[in-house]
Amino acid sequence: MKNYYQKDIETAPREKIIEIQNEKIVKQVKHVYDNVPYYRNLMDQKGVKPEDIKTIDDIKKLPFLTKDDLREAYPYGLLGTDLKNCVRIQSTSGTTGKRVVAFYTQHDIDLWEECCARAIVAAGGTNEDVVQVCYGYGLFTGGPGLNGGSHKVGCLTLPMSSGNTERQIQFMMDLNATILCCTPSYAAYIGESLAERGYKPEDNKLKAGIFGAEPWTEEMRRSIEKSLGIKAYDIYGLTETSGPGVSFECEEQTGMHINEDHFYAEIIDPETGEVLPEGEKGELVFTSLDKEGFPLLRYRTKDICVLSRKKCSCGRTHVKMSKPMGRSDDMMIIRGVNVFPSQIEAVLLKEGYTPNYQIVVDRARNNDTFDVYVELSPEQFSDKVSDIQARERNLEAAMRSMLGIGPKMHLVAPKTIERSEGKAVRVIDKRKLHD
Protein backbone atom coordinates (compact mmCIF):
# COMPACT_ATOMS: atom_id res chain seq x y z
CA MET A 1 0.00 0.00 0.00
CA LYS A 2 1.23 3.46 -0.84
CA ASN A 3 1.51 5.95 1.95
CA TYR A 4 1.51 9.71 1.87
CA TYR A 5 1.54 12.27 4.63
CA GLN A 6 -0.76 14.70 2.81
CA LYS A 7 -2.16 12.59 0.00
CA ASP A 8 -4.45 15.20 -1.56
CA ILE A 9 -1.72 17.70 -2.14
CA GLU A 10 1.13 15.24 -2.80
CA THR A 11 -0.83 13.53 -5.58
CA ALA A 12 -2.81 16.54 -6.81
CA PRO A 13 -3.25 16.87 -10.57
CA ARG A 14 -0.90 19.35 -12.22
CA GLU A 15 -3.69 21.90 -12.83
CA LYS A 16 -4.50 21.93 -9.15
CA ILE A 17 -0.88 22.58 -8.21
CA ILE A 18 -0.66 25.44 -10.71
CA GLU A 19 -3.88 26.88 -9.32
CA ILE A 20 -2.41 26.83 -5.80
CA GLN A 21 0.83 28.41 -7.04
CA ASN A 22 -1.03 31.12 -8.94
CA GLU A 23 -2.97 32.04 -5.88
CA LYS A 24 -0.02 31.98 -3.50
CA ILE A 25 2.47 33.90 -5.66
CA VAL A 26 0.19 36.90 -6.03
CA LYS A 27 -0.23 37.14 -2.27
CA GLN A 28 3.42 36.43 -1.55
CA VAL A 29 4.79 39.09 -3.90
CA LYS A 30 2.49 41.66 -2.37
CA HIS A 31 3.51 40.54 1.12
CA VAL A 32 7.20 40.88 0.27
CA TYR A 33 6.80 44.22 -1.53
CA ASP A 34 4.95 45.68 1.43
CA ASN A 35 7.22 44.28 4.13
CA VAL A 36 10.74 43.90 2.76
CA PRO A 37 12.20 47.24 1.65
CA TYR A 38 15.37 45.51 0.41
CA TYR A 39 13.41 43.48 -2.15
CA ARG A 40 11.02 46.33 -2.92
CA ASN A 41 14.07 48.31 -4.03
CA LEU A 42 15.20 45.48 -6.30
CA MET A 43 11.71 45.31 -7.83
CA ASP A 44 11.57 49.08 -8.27
CA GLN A 45 14.97 49.07 -9.94
CA LYS A 46 13.69 46.45 -12.37
CA GLY A 47 10.44 48.35 -12.86
CA VAL A 48 8.23 45.50 -11.63
CA LYS A 49 5.16 46.16 -9.51
CA PRO A 50 3.23 43.58 -7.50
CA GLU A 51 0.28 44.05 -9.92
CA ASP A 52 2.49 42.72 -12.74
CA ILE A 53 2.50 39.30 -11.10
CA LYS A 54 -0.82 37.69 -11.96
CA THR A 55 0.16 34.05 -12.35
CA ILE A 56 3.11 31.85 -11.46
CA ASP A 57 4.47 32.29 -14.99
CA ASP A 58 4.98 35.99 -14.30
CA ILE A 59 7.61 35.03 -11.74
CA LYS A 60 10.20 35.44 -14.52
CA LYS A 61 9.75 39.20 -14.23
CA LEU A 62 11.01 39.29 -10.65
CA PRO A 63 14.63 40.03 -9.71
CA PHE A 64 16.88 37.29 -8.32
CA LEU A 65 18.26 37.15 -4.82
CA THR A 66 21.77 35.84 -4.22
CA LYS A 67 23.88 34.87 -1.27
CA ASP A 68 25.53 38.30 -1.57
CA ASP A 69 22.14 39.93 -1.04
CA LEU A 70 21.68 37.84 2.06
CA ARG A 71 25.04 38.93 3.33
CA GLU A 72 24.34 42.56 2.59
CA ALA A 73 20.93 42.42 4.22
CA TYR A 74 22.21 40.54 7.29
CA PRO A 75 20.65 40.17 9.77
CA TYR A 76 17.17 41.74 9.43
CA GLY A 77 17.10 43.13 5.90
CA LEU A 78 15.04 40.31 4.39
CA LEU A 79 12.78 39.76 7.35
CA GLY A 80 9.19 39.53 6.09
CA THR A 81 7.26 40.19 9.24
CA ASP A 82 7.52 41.87 12.59
CA LEU A 83 10.18 40.20 14.72
CA LYS A 84 7.62 39.63 17.44
CA ASN A 85 5.76 37.25 15.13
CA CYS A 86 8.87 35.08 14.77
CA VAL A 87 9.53 32.16 17.08
CA ARG A 88 12.80 30.68 15.79
CA ILE A 89 16.11 31.45 14.16
CA GLN A 90 18.23 28.90 12.30
CA SER A 91 21.53 29.50 10.60
CA THR A 92 23.70 27.81 7.98
CA SER A 93 26.53 25.59 9.03
CA GLY A 94 28.74 28.08 7.25
CA THR A 95 30.22 25.55 4.82
CA THR A 96 30.88 28.38 2.42
CA GLY A 97 32.06 30.76 5.10
CA LYS A 98 29.06 33.05 4.81
CA ARG A 99 26.51 32.73 7.55
CA VAL A 100 22.85 33.07 6.76
CA VAL A 101 20.30 33.76 9.49
CA ALA A 102 16.73 32.71 8.71
CA PHE A 103 13.61 33.64 10.68
CA TYR A 104 10.53 31.47 11.21
CA THR A 105 7.03 32.18 12.42
CA GLN A 106 5.07 29.26 13.90
CA HIS A 107 3.35 28.92 10.52
CA ASP A 108 6.78 28.59 8.86
CA ILE A 109 7.91 25.93 11.35
CA ASP A 110 4.72 23.92 10.77
CA LEU A 111 5.09 24.13 7.01
CA TRP A 112 8.73 23.03 7.22
CA GLU A 113 8.02 20.15 9.57
CA GLU A 114 5.18 18.99 7.33
CA CYS A 115 7.59 18.86 4.42
CA CYS A 116 9.94 16.70 6.53
CA ALA A 117 6.99 14.53 7.57
CA ARG A 118 6.21 13.92 3.89
CA ALA A 119 9.82 12.77 3.45
CA ILE A 120 9.63 10.38 6.40
CA VAL A 121 6.36 8.84 5.20
CA ALA A 122 7.81 8.50 1.69
CA ALA A 123 10.66 6.51 3.24
CA GLY A 124 8.10 4.18 4.80
CA GLY A 125 7.72 5.91 8.17
CA THR A 126 4.60 5.43 10.32
CA ASN A 127 3.79 5.95 13.98
CA GLU A 128 5.28 2.50 14.63
CA ASP A 129 8.76 3.68 13.71
CA VAL A 130 11.66 4.69 15.88
CA VAL A 131 13.48 7.52 14.19
CA GLN A 132 17.08 8.18 15.19
CA VAL A 133 17.99 11.74 14.25
CA CYS A 134 21.74 12.25 14.24
CA TYR A 135 21.89 15.41 12.23
CA GLY A 136 23.22 18.21 14.38
CA TYR A 137 20.69 19.99 16.58
CA GLY A 138 20.93 23.69 17.24
CA LEU A 139 21.37 26.41 14.65
CA PHE A 140 21.86 23.84 11.88
CA THR A 141 18.53 22.96 10.29
CA GLY A 142 19.11 19.20 9.93
CA GLY A 143 18.29 18.10 13.49
CA PRO A 144 15.32 20.41 14.17
CA GLY A 145 13.76 19.75 10.74
CA LEU A 146 13.75 15.95 10.86
CA ASN A 147 12.93 16.01 14.57
CA GLY A 148 9.81 18.07 13.87
CA GLY A 149 8.83 15.91 10.91
CA SER A 150 9.22 12.75 12.95
CA HIS A 151 6.93 14.17 15.65
CA LYS A 152 4.31 15.09 13.08
CA VAL A 153 4.28 11.52 11.76
CA GLY A 154 4.00 10.27 15.33
CA CYS A 155 7.24 8.29 15.29
CA LEU A 156 9.16 7.66 18.48
CA THR A 157 11.94 10.20 18.01
CA LEU A 158 15.50 9.79 19.31
CA PRO A 159 16.97 13.31 19.29
CA MET A 160 20.59 12.13 19.28
CA SER A 161 22.22 15.03 17.45
CA SER A 162 25.55 14.27 15.78
CA GLY A 163 28.64 12.72 17.25
CA ASN A 164 29.39 10.21 19.99
CA THR A 165 29.20 7.24 17.67
CA GLU A 166 29.49 4.77 20.53
CA ARG A 167 26.27 6.10 22.03
CA GLN A 168 24.57 6.26 18.61
CA ILE A 169 25.22 2.56 18.15
CA GLN A 170 24.12 1.67 21.66
CA PHE A 171 20.80 3.51 21.29
CA MET A 172 20.29 2.18 17.77
CA MET A 173 20.65 -1.40 18.96
CA ASP A 174 18.99 -1.15 22.40
CA LEU A 175 16.02 0.95 21.31
CA ASN A 176 15.53 -0.74 17.92
CA ALA A 177 15.79 2.32 15.71
CA THR A 178 14.10 1.68 12.35
CA ILE A 179 14.86 4.92 10.47
CA LEU A 180 18.20 6.71 10.56
CA CYS A 181 18.51 10.41 9.66
CA CYS A 182 21.97 11.98 9.21
CA THR A 183 24.43 13.10 6.57
CA PRO A 184 25.41 10.35 4.13
CA SER A 185 29.04 10.60 5.22
CA TYR A 186 28.04 10.00 8.83
CA ALA A 187 25.79 7.11 7.77
CA ALA A 188 28.79 5.53 6.04
CA TYR A 189 30.83 6.01 9.19
CA ILE A 190 28.14 4.43 11.38
CA GLY A 191 28.03 1.47 8.97
CA GLU A 192 31.78 1.10 9.20
CA SER A 193 31.70 1.37 13.01
CA LEU A 194 28.99 -1.30 13.28
CA ALA A 195 31.05 -3.69 11.18
CA GLU A 196 34.11 -3.07 13.31
CA ARG A 197 32.15 -4.06 16.38
CA GLY A 198 31.21 -7.32 14.71
CA TYR A 199 27.62 -6.44 13.77
CA LYS A 200 26.27 -7.70 10.48
CA PRO A 201 23.82 -5.57 8.45
CA GLU A 202 20.93 -7.81 9.50
CA ASP A 203 21.69 -7.36 13.21
CA ASN A 204 20.11 -3.91 13.37
CA LYS A 205 16.39 -3.12 13.00
CA LEU A 206 16.91 -0.25 10.58
CA LYS A 207 14.82 -0.37 7.41
CA ALA A 208 15.44 3.06 5.92
CA GLY A 209 17.72 6.05 6.10
CA ILE A 210 17.02 9.67 5.17
CA PHE A 211 20.31 11.23 4.23
CA GLY A 212 21.10 14.66 2.87
CA ALA A 213 22.61 18.08 3.54
CA GLU A 214 25.63 17.28 1.37
CA PRO A 215 26.26 15.80 -2.06
CA TRP A 216 26.53 12.01 -2.37
CA THR A 217 26.65 9.72 -5.32
CA GLU A 218 24.59 6.70 -6.40
CA GLU A 219 27.65 4.57 -5.66
CA MET A 220 27.77 5.89 -2.12
CA ARG A 221 24.07 5.13 -1.75
CA ARG A 222 24.57 1.48 -2.70
CA SER A 223 27.49 1.16 -0.34
CA ILE A 224 25.52 2.60 2.62
CA GLU A 225 22.48 0.47 1.79
CA LYS A 226 24.68 -2.62 1.86
CA SER A 227 26.53 -1.80 5.05
CA LEU A 228 23.39 -0.95 7.05
CA GLY A 229 20.95 -3.31 5.33
CA ILE A 230 18.51 -0.50 4.51
CA LYS A 231 16.98 1.51 1.69
CA ALA A 232 18.61 4.95 1.59
CA TYR A 233 16.57 8.03 0.63
CA ASP A 234 17.91 11.42 -0.33
CA ILE A 235 16.56 14.63 1.17
CA TYR A 236 17.45 18.18 0.12
CA GLY A 237 17.03 21.64 1.45
CA LEU A 238 18.81 24.77 2.50
CA THR A 239 18.50 27.16 5.39
CA GLU A 240 17.43 29.96 3.07
CA THR A 241 14.26 28.08 2.09
CA SER A 242 13.61 26.45 5.54
CA GLY A 243 15.98 23.53 5.81
CA PRO A 244 15.79 19.85 4.76
CA GLY A 245 12.52 18.73 3.22
CA VAL A 246 12.26 21.21 0.37
CA SER A 247 12.46 18.02 -1.68
CA PHE A 248 12.71 14.33 -0.86
CA GLU A 249 12.99 10.96 -2.51
CA CYS A 250 10.27 8.37 -2.84
CA GLU A 251 10.74 4.62 -3.29
CA GLU A 252 11.60 5.06 -6.98
CA GLN A 253 14.91 6.68 -5.98
CA THR A 254 15.15 8.61 -9.23
CA GLY A 255 15.15 12.17 -8.00
CA MET A 256 13.55 14.21 -5.24
CA HIS A 257 9.97 15.49 -5.36
CA ILE A 258 9.95 19.22 -4.67
CA ASN A 259 7.13 20.31 -2.36
CA GLU A 260 5.67 22.52 -5.06
CA ASP A 261 2.78 23.81 -3.02
CA HIS A 262 5.37 25.66 -0.89
CA PHE A 263 8.43 26.04 -3.09
CA TYR A 264 8.47 27.00 -6.74
CA ALA A 265 11.56 25.81 -8.61
CA GLU A 266 13.20 27.16 -11.74
CA ILE A 267 16.39 26.13 -13.53
CA ILE A 268 18.39 28.99 -14.97
CA ASP A 269 21.53 29.42 -16.98
CA PRO A 270 23.97 30.54 -14.27
CA GLU A 271 25.73 32.88 -16.70
CA THR A 272 22.78 34.67 -18.29
CA GLY A 273 20.00 34.16 -15.74
CA GLU A 274 17.73 32.89 -18.51
CA VAL A 275 15.12 30.30 -17.47
CA LEU A 276 15.89 26.95 -19.10
CA PRO A 277 13.33 24.44 -20.36
CA GLU A 278 12.56 21.28 -18.39
CA GLY A 279 15.29 18.67 -18.63
CA GLU A 280 18.16 21.10 -19.04
CA LYS A 281 20.93 21.33 -16.51
CA GLY A 282 21.44 24.61 -14.70
CA GLU A 283 21.25 26.49 -11.43
CA LEU A 284 18.30 25.81 -9.20
CA VAL A 285 16.30 28.86 -8.11
CA PHE A 286 13.64 28.72 -5.38
CA THR A 287 10.72 30.94 -4.48
CA SER A 288 9.02 30.25 -1.19
CA LEU A 289 5.33 30.64 -1.89
CA ASP A 290 3.95 31.00 1.59
CA LYS A 291 6.66 31.57 4.16
CA GLU A 292 6.13 34.59 6.40
CA GLY A 293 9.35 35.19 8.33
CA PHE A 294 11.96 34.78 5.59
CA PRO A 295 10.06 34.83 2.30
CA LEU A 296 12.76 34.69 -0.35
CA LEU A 297 11.72 35.22 -3.96
CA ARG A 298 13.82 33.76 -6.78
CA TYR A 299 16.73 32.77 -4.57
CA ARG A 300 19.73 31.42 -6.49
CA THR A 301 20.91 28.30 -4.68
CA LYS A 302 24.09 27.76 -6.72
CA ASP A 303 23.15 24.08 -6.83
CA ILE A 304 23.38 22.63 -10.31
CA CYS A 305 20.68 20.15 -11.26
CA VAL A 306 17.91 19.09 -13.63
CA LEU A 307 14.12 19.06 -13.16
CA SER A 308 11.87 16.32 -14.46
CA ARG A 309 8.10 16.01 -14.73
CA LYS A 310 8.19 12.40 -15.84
CA LYS A 311 5.34 10.45 -14.22
CA CYS A 312 6.50 8.82 -11.01
CA SER A 313 5.41 5.32 -9.99
CA CYS A 314 4.88 6.46 -6.40
CA GLY A 315 1.84 8.48 -7.42
CA ARG A 316 3.27 11.82 -6.34
CA THR A 317 2.80 14.50 -8.95
CA HIS A 318 5.29 17.10 -7.77
CA VAL A 319 8.23 17.85 -10.03
CA LYS A 320 11.46 15.99 -9.31
CA MET A 321 14.96 17.42 -9.09
CA SER A 322 18.05 15.35 -9.73
CA LYS A 323 20.67 15.01 -7.05
CA PRO A 324 22.61 18.28 -7.15
CA MET A 325 25.61 17.63 -9.36
CA GLY A 326 27.61 20.07 -7.30
CA ARG A 327 27.34 23.67 -6.27
CA SER A 328 28.46 26.18 -8.82
CA ASP A 329 30.79 27.40 -6.06
CA ASP A 330 31.90 23.82 -5.28
CA MET A 331 33.17 23.35 -8.75
CA MET A 332 36.92 23.41 -8.90
CA ILE A 333 38.68 24.71 -11.93
CA ILE A 334 41.94 22.83 -12.04
CA ARG A 335 44.33 23.59 -14.85
CA GLY A 336 41.36 25.02 -16.69
CA VAL A 337 39.22 21.89 -16.32
CA ASN A 338 35.92 21.90 -14.39
CA VAL A 339 35.98 19.25 -11.70
CA PHE A 340 33.23 18.34 -9.21
CA PRO A 341 34.02 16.31 -6.08
CA SER A 342 31.07 14.04 -6.95
CA GLN A 343 32.84 12.85 -10.10
CA ILE A 344 35.84 11.81 -8.05
CA GLU A 345 33.65 10.01 -5.54
CA ALA A 346 31.87 8.13 -8.31
CA VAL A 347 35.16 6.83 -9.73
CA LEU A 348 36.46 5.79 -6.30
CA LEU A 349 33.38 3.78 -5.40
CA LYS A 350 33.15 2.26 -8.85
CA GLU A 351 36.74 1.06 -8.51
CA GLY A 352 35.95 -0.52 -5.15
CA TYR A 353 37.45 2.06 -2.80
CA THR A 354 36.03 3.56 0.39
CA PRO A 355 34.13 6.87 0.39
CA ASN A 356 36.80 8.23 2.73
CA TYR A 357 38.73 10.66 0.62
CA GLN A 358 40.03 14.18 0.52
CA ILE A 359 40.94 16.38 -2.42
CA VAL A 360 43.79 18.85 -2.05
CA VAL A 361 44.35 21.54 -4.62
CA ASP A 362 47.29 23.91 -4.44
CA ARG A 363 49.46 26.01 -6.69
CA ALA A 364 53.19 25.51 -7.19
CA ARG A 365 55.19 27.61 -9.61
CA ASN A 366 51.99 28.95 -11.19
CA ASN A 367 50.71 25.46 -11.82
CA ASP A 368 47.78 23.83 -10.11
CA THR A 369 48.58 20.73 -8.14
CA PHE A 370 45.79 18.19 -7.72
CA ASP A 371 46.07 15.43 -5.14
CA VAL A 372 43.47 12.93 -3.98
CA TYR A 373 43.96 10.96 -0.77
CA VAL A 374 41.93 7.78 -0.42
CA GLU A 375 41.80 5.39 2.45
CA LEU A 376 42.28 1.72 1.81
CA SER A 377 39.98 -0.66 3.64
CA PRO A 378 41.77 -3.10 6.00
CA GLU A 379 41.33 -5.85 3.36
CA GLN A 380 42.88 -3.72 0.64
CA PHE A 381 45.76 -2.62 2.78
CA SER A 382 49.10 -4.09 1.83
CA ASP A 383 52.66 -3.71 3.02
CA LYS A 384 53.97 -4.09 -0.49
CA VAL A 385 54.83 -0.69 -1.88
CA SER A 386 54.74 -2.01 -5.44
CA ASP A 387 51.12 -3.18 -4.94
CA ILE A 388 50.05 0.21 -3.74
CA GLN A 389 51.84 2.03 -6.51
CA ALA A 390 50.23 -0.14 -9.16
CA ARG A 391 46.80 0.56 -7.68
CA GLU A 392 47.52 4.28 -7.62
CA ARG A 393 48.45 4.28 -11.27
CA ASN A 394 45.27 2.40 -12.20
CA LEU A 395 43.19 4.88 -10.29
CA GLU A 396 44.95 7.81 -11.94
CA ALA A 397 44.03 6.40 -15.32
CA ALA A 398 40.40 5.90 -14.29
CA MET A 399 40.26 9.47 -12.98
CA ARG A 400 41.79 10.88 -16.14
CA SER A 401 39.24 9.17 -18.33
CA MET A 402 36.38 10.52 -16.19
CA LEU A 403 37.65 14.04 -15.52
CA GLY A 404 39.89 14.74 -18.47
CA ILE A 405 42.64 15.54 -16.02
CA GLY A 406 44.72 13.19 -13.88
CA PRO A 407 45.10 13.86 -10.16
CA LYS A 408 47.99 12.39 -8.24
CA MET A 409 46.47 9.56 -6.25
CA HIS A 410 47.61 8.65 -2.74
CA LEU A 411 46.30 5.47 -1.18
CA VAL A 412 46.65 5.79 2.56
CA ALA A 413 46.30 3.43 5.51
CA PRO A 414 42.87 2.71 7.02
CA LYS A 415 41.61 5.33 9.50
CA THR A 416 43.99 8.09 8.50
CA ILE A 417 41.44 10.50 7.04
CA GLU A 418 39.37 12.27 9.66
CA ARG A 419 35.72 11.14 9.83
CA SER A 420 32.92 13.65 9.78
CA GLU A 421 29.91 13.68 12.05
CA GLY A 422 28.17 16.33 10.00
CA LYS A 423 29.02 17.52 6.55
CA ALA A 424 32.26 15.97 5.30
CA VAL A 425 35.15 18.22 4.29
CA ARG A 426 36.02 16.85 0.86
CA VAL A 427 38.03 19.64 -0.67
CA ILE A 428 40.97 21.60 0.65
CA ASP A 429 41.76 24.34 -1.83
CA LYS A 430 44.92 26.11 -0.77
CA ARG A 431 45.18 28.32 -3.83
CA LYS A 432 43.31 31.21 -2.23
CA LEU A 433 41.75 32.22 -5.51
CA HIS A 434 38.70 33.62 -3.72
CA ASP A 435 38.24 35.87 -0.70
The site for Zn ion (CB under 5 A) is made up of: 250, 252, 312, 314, 316
Euclidean distance between CA atoms 175 and 151, whole angstroms: 17
Is residue 259 within 8 A of residue 246, CB to CB? The reply is yes
Euclidean distance between CA atoms 106 and 110, whole angstroms: 6
Among 37, 51, 89, 94, binds ligand ADP (CB under 6 A): 94
* 320 lines the binding site for ligand ADP (CB under 6 A): no
Among 96, 322, 369, 420, binds ligand ADP (CB under 6 A): 96
* 92 lines the binding site for ligand ADP (CB under 6 A): yes
DSSP assignment letter at 356: -
Residue 213 or 297 having the CB closest to ligand ADP: 213
Residues in region 291-310 near ligand ADP by CB under 6 A: 301, 303
Among 161, 162, 185, 239, binds ligand ADP (CB under 6 A): 239
* 144 lines the binding site for ligand ADP (CB under 6 A): no
Q: Among Zn ion, ligand ADP, none, what does residue 250 contact (CB within 5–8 Å per kind)?
A: Zn ion
- What residue type is assigned to position 183 of the chain? T
Among 35, 95, 193, 369, binds ligand ADP (CB under 6 A): 95
The per-residue DSSP string of 358-395 comes to: EEEEEEETTEEEEEEEEEPPTTT--S-HHHHHHHHHHH
Residue 302 or 316 having the CB closest to Zn ion: 316
Q: Among Zn ion, ligand ADP, none, what does residue 239 contact (CB within 5–8 Å per kind)?
A: ligand ADP
Residue 362 or 429 having the CB closest to ligand ADP: 429
* 112 lines the binding site for ligand ADP (CB under 6 A): no
Nearest distance from C-beta of residue 256 to ligand ADP, angstroms = 7
The per-residue DSSP string of 4-72 comes to: -SSHHHHT--HHHHHHHHHHHHHHHHHHHHHH-HHHHHHHHHHT--GGG--SGGGGGGSPPB-HHHHHH
Nearest distance from C-beta of residue 59 to Zn ion, angstroms = 25
Binding part of the chain for ligand ADP, among 5-13, 273-281, 319-327, 386-394 by CB under 6 A, reads 319-327
Cα-Cα-Cα-Cα dihedral sign, residues 143, 144, 147, 149: negative
Q: Which residues pair with 101 in a beta bridge?
A: 91
Residue 17 or 210 having the CB closest to ligand ADP: 210
Q: Among Zn ion, ligand ADP, none, what does residue 93 contact (CB within 5–8 Å per kind)?
A: ligand ADP
Is residue 241 within 8 A of residue 263, CB to CB? The reply is yes
Nearest distance from C-beta of residue 233 to ligand ADP, angstroms = 10
Return the exposure string of 323-338: e unless at least 16 CB atoms fall within 10 Å of the residue's CB, then b. Answer: bbbbbbebebebeeee
Nearest distance from C-beta of residue 342 to ligand ADP, angstroms = 9
- Residues with Cβ within 8 Å of 283's Cβ and at least 6 positions away in sequence, in order, are 267, 268, 269, 270, 300, 301, 302, 303, 304, 328
Nearest distance from C-beta of residue 244 to ligand ADP, angstroms = 7
* 324 lines the binding site for ligand ADP (CB under 6 A): yes
Q: Among ligand ADP, Zn ion, none, what does residue 183 contact (CB within 5–8 Å per kind)?
A: none
Residues in region 157-216 near ligand ADP by CB under 6 A: 212-215
Dihedrals φ, ψ of 76, to 5°? Answer: -105, -5
Is residue 409 within 8 A of residue 392, CB to CB? The reply is yes
Euclidean distance between CA atoms 75 and 71, whole angstroms: 8
Among 234, 266, 290, 292, binds ligand ADP (CB under 6 A): 234
Is residue 128 within 8 A of residue 109, CB to CB? The reply is no
Residue 2 or 415 having the CB closest to Zn ion: 2
Nearest distance from C-beta of residue 123 to Zn ion, angstroms = 12
Is residue 341 reached through a cis peptide bond, with omega within 30 degrees of 0 on the bond before it? no
Which residues here bind ligand ADP, judged by CB under 6 A? Answer: 92-96, 212-215, 234-239, 301, 303, 323-324, 327
